Amino acid sequence: MFFKRKTDEIDKTRLPVHIGIIMDGNGRWAKKRGLPRSAGHKAGAESLKKIITEANNLGIKYATVYAFSTENWKRPKAEVDYLMSLLMDYLVNAEKTLAGENVVIRAIGSRKELSEEMRRQIVKTEEFTKNNTGIVMNIALNYGGRDEIVHAVREICREAAAEGKSADDITAGDIESRLYTAGQPDVDLLIRTSGEQRLSNFMLWQVSYAEMWFTDKLWPDFKPADLHRAIADFQHRGRRFGGV
């Protein structure tokens, strides 16, 4: 007999520790409504606040959200500028709203291409929220998985040269400890909205054994109930990590 399982039932003792979210589909959401893409990004930012609040309330420990990729600079300047201003607002407001909810906010990605103002705000928001004890929210901003690995390898090479270490001494742990997410666990559950089923350079190292969950919903339409569904599905999968 096949019973349809109640999709929103979550076992709070078996939550994914780290969720990754590729928040995709803002542009299509706006287009469907005859609005400019910027309206989709604005709605997407609202969606993000709700989802982080929900994840925090559920007791999820880490959430990494893809906000701007190293490839997104290819977009028209006006869109890039708008996305940057939204992210800036997000960081500023986060001090008032998400920080009050005990969220730890961090930015991951390469900072040198960001404006001076954005870099300063990142440091400020990180500093302001660092002693919070709730969910750690990594905002992937000018983030690329390949860039992150290149960055780690460069550091390893520099240190190895200085210490006279041989190539054979390099371990996976050496790479891991130099990623932007150093010290954090791997991603358990990866969510991507908008029907696309690809990584688009997100967390290449950290998603090695993540369970992938896709939905056709566009990011601004993604609701706390959808997060519940993703987690409930995750809890019904058998993870083996290469074992039996």
The whole-angstrom separation of Cα 156 and Cα 170 is 8
Q: Could you say whether residue 108 binds ligand IPE (CB under 6 A)?
A: no
Using the rule CB under 5 A, is 188 a contact of Mg ion? no
C-alpha to C-alpha distance for 116 and 122, rounded to whole angstroms: 10
| Nearest residue to Mg ion, scored by beta-carbon proximity | 24
Q: Which of residues 7, 93, 110, 200 is near ligand IPE by CB under 6 A?
A: 200
Closest CA to 146 of 184, 106, 200: 200
Binding of residue 72 to ligand IPE (CB under 6 A):
yes
Of the pair 24, 188, the CB lying nearest Mg ion is at: 24
Binding of ligand IPE by 196 (CB under 6 A): yes
Between the two ends of the chain, the Cα-to-Cα distance in Å is 27
> What character string, x for contact with Mg ion (CB under 5 A) and - otherwise, covers 20-39?
----x---------------
Query: Which residue among the candidates 8, 11, 24, 174 is catalytic per the annotation?
Result: 24
Tell me, by CB under 6 A, how many residues bind ligand IPE.
Answer: 17
25 binds ligand IPE, rule: CB under 6 A: yes
- Is 72 part of the annotated catalytic residue set? yes
Q: How far is the CB of 32 from ligand IPE (least distance, A)?
A: 9
Distance of CA 189 to the CA centre of its chain: 11
Say whether 75 counts as a known binding-site residue.
yes
Q: Is there a catalytic annotation at residue 142? A: no
Helix (H, G, I), strand (E, B), or coil: what is residue 66?
strand
One-character DSSP codes across 147-209: HHHHHHHHHHHHHHHHHT--GGG--HHHHHTTSTTTTSPPPSEEEE-TT----TT--TTTTTT
- The residues assigned a catalytic role are 24, 72
